[in-house]
């Protein structure tokens, strides 16, 4: 099934200043995370990021943080490896909209709150793939989100750990994709108004 831009949220895990120098293919991984953030901003896909123990590992890489902020994204600090344990799932689910009734009406006459539109597909990438990214993705699957892992924007300190994470996530039901797959599935066609802008980003 192709990605639906209206059903997607982008989640970027722990691209932190003191971690990235040790990551296998780190510069390419950050570059692809930046491409994802730029495309998400253009197509109005909500952007989230996490930081594991930022007091020790530093904040998000500045060049990526700037793009996250430009996309009006939120950065969630955490201490657990899985961001779900620190409240991520609740953040990804929209709050129900009030029914618009006067508060003075008796409860039985008030309209029930309307559920907010759901974006149930989480496009996730990050570091380290076999620890924080994988544990977050597995917990999101348990929370009944559809999880799509961007492989060329994710890595670990070693290639073996990275690949083991991808194998495990695929076996658990996550889809494995690349940055360009995400971009072009969100667009769907060359007639999209943002096609040229996205093409410039992925090139």
Portion of the chain with pLDDT greater than 90, in percent: 87
Q: What is the pLDDT of residue 112?
A: 57
Q: What is the pLDDT of residue 104?
A: 55
**Structure tokens of 192?**
């999209």
Q: What is the pLDDT of residue 108?
A: 57
Statement: residue 63 has pLDDT above 60 = yes
Domain positions in the chain: 5-93+120-202
Consecutive H or E run containing 176: strand 175-177
Could you give the 3-state DSSP secondary structure of residue 78? strand
CATH of domain 5-93+120-202: 3.40.50.850
Please write the tens of the pLDDT for every residue from 88-136.
999 999 765 555 555 555 655 665 555 556 899 999 999 999 999 999 9
| Strand partners of residue 150 | 177
Section 48-75 average pLDDT:
97
Higher pLDDT, 104 or 159: 159
**Mean pLDDT, all residues of the chain:** 92
For residues 141 and 117, the answer to whether their CB atoms sit within 8 Å is no
């Amino acid at each position: 099934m192709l990605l639906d831009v209206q059903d997607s949220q982008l989640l970027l895990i722990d691209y932190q200043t003191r971690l990235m120098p040790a990551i296998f293919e780190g510069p390419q991984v950050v570059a692809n995370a930046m491409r994802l953030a730029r495309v998400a901003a253009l197509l109005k896909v909500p952007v989230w990021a996490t930081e594991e123990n930022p007091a020790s590992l530093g904040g998000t890489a500045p060049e990526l943080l700037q793009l996250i902020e430009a996309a009006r994204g939120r950065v969630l600090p955490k201490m657990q490896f899985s961001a779900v344990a620190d409240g991520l799932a609740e953040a990804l689910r929209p709050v129900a909209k009030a029914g618009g009734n006067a508060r003075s009406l008796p409860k039985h006459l008030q309209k029930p709150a309307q559920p907010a539109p759901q974006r149930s597909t989480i496009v996730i990438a990050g570091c380290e793939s076999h620890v924080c990214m994988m544990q977050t993705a597995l917990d999101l699957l348990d929370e009944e989100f559809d999880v799509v892992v961007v492989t060329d924007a994710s890595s670990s300190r070693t290639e073996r750990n990275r690949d083991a994470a991808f194998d495990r996530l695929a076996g658990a039901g996550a889809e494995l994709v690349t940055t360009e797959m995400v971009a072009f599935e969100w667009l769907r066609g060359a007639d999209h108004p943002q096609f040229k802008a996205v093409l410039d980003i992925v090139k």
